[in-house]
Structure 1
Amino acid sequence: MGDVQLAWRRLVDWLETNAPATASTVLAPAAPAAVTAAEERMGVIFPVELRMWLLASGADNDPVGFTEGVVPGNNRDLLGLAAMERTYHFKMEIERDDPSDDPEFPFWHEQWIPIISDDDSCYGKFLDVRSGQIGSFGDGDEPSFGVHESLTALFSETLVLMEQISAGAQGATGRVQGGRLIWD
């Protein structure tokens, strides 16, 4: 099992024990053929780490298409494969229709794969295929780079925050209410 799969499994184990309502939203594994087909439609080769995570939890064959509330941030959800693809094409269409003035700092880059987003795709995080790092995007904001070193780091850092919640640590950035993980 790869590092990202181990980090994801530990995170899901915490959810199942401490926040079962949130754990119930975790997506099923994506089929390898579905991942390959999405890469082809997007014209991007996913890094191994992203592919491994999608194979652990990336199927979104229902209308929801995301795992809700796992990562910090209000109304931010981990996207499943089809939601990732929809968001990617939406962002690329905006970039094509109204190209950024500075090609070094575009609104959206073809090598950015959205992995976390709010409902209207205005705020979230992306995985930069070229570096494997996680960046963030926001409506009207320039993208931020290197927010997390990798997908594994994102999941590991999130787990640390979750463990602070379950330990009742002072200054914890969230809580569990009604079996649901809620980030402050």
Structure 2
Amino acid sequence: MSHADAVRSSWARIVRWLDENAPISAQALNPPATEADIRELRDSLGCQVPEVLEMWLRCNNGSTAKDSRISIPGGVRLTPHLDSKVFPGGEVFLDCRSIVDRYQNNLRVAEDIGDEDWWEPSWIPVLAEADAHYGLILDAGQRDGSVPVLAYRETDYPKKYASSLEDLLAGMADMLEHGRGDGVLTRGCRASVQNGRVVWD
């Protein structure tokens, strides 16, 4: 099984669990990304879109279906819905447009502060907290073709978090289906359902 197919398989397990157990959370998942969505993502990033990310987005284009975008001077403010936070820690699965917005903003910040190490062009945000500089990114710049997952936060530079997106999602799927697993994302967490929403404790 290819890395992309493994991502699709693990994500399908997660979505099936949400559909059966937390339908309110499942409703926050967008339909699959379109060819136009993927093309815009490719054109907007300064690096190649990893196959594993493209596959994931072609399953569901983020968990932002219930979010709202409000026009503000100089741009748009995304207001996330509670149901968007389907991952442990309250992270939102970013859609193509949100990936581009965060990616470009973080590169601007790195340039403004004169610190290239703060955000590199090969770092693609995929999970993020709505109101904080915290989340997970894919490092698409590895020479060996691997795509490790890095964690970043306001007070620290990105650091390696998981070896791959497929490992991350497989660990979450195991935890949801079996209530156990040693996935880095779900370590020390348990999922429950409240009012149709998945809640991580």
**What TM-score comes out, normalization by structure 2 length?**
0.78
1:1-184 to 2 correspondence within 5 Å? Answer: 2-58=5-61, 63=68, 68-73=84-89, 75-100=90-115, 106-130=117-141, 131-145=146-160, 147-165=161-179, 173-184=190-201
C-alpha deviation, 1:174, in angstroms: 2.7
Q: Percent identity?
A: 28
Q: Is the 8 A contact 2:124 2:138 kept in 1?
A: yes
Q: Structure 1 regions of 5+ residues with no counterpart?
A: none
1:85-112 Cα shifts (integer Å, max 9, x gaps): 1011111110011122xx5xx1111101
Residues in 1 aligned to 2:61 and 2:137: alpha-carbon distance in whole angstroms: 15
C-alpha deviation, 1:165, in angstroms: 4.3
Q: Is the 8 A contact 2:128 2:135 kept in 1?
A: yes
Check 1:151–1:31 CA distance in 2 against 1; reply closer, same or farther (3 A cut). same
SS in 2 for 1:116: strand
C-alpha deviation, 1:121, in angstroms: 4.5
**What TM-score comes out, normalization by structure 1 length?**
0.85
C-alpha deviation, 1:164, in angstroms: 4.2
Residues in 1 aligned to 2:7 and 2:112: alpha-carbon distance in whole angstroms: 35
Check 1:172–1:132 CA distance in 2 against 1; reply closer, same or farther (3 A cut). closer
Q: Structure 2 regions of 5+ residues with no counterpart?
A: 70-77, 181-187
Count of aligned pairs between the two proteins: 174
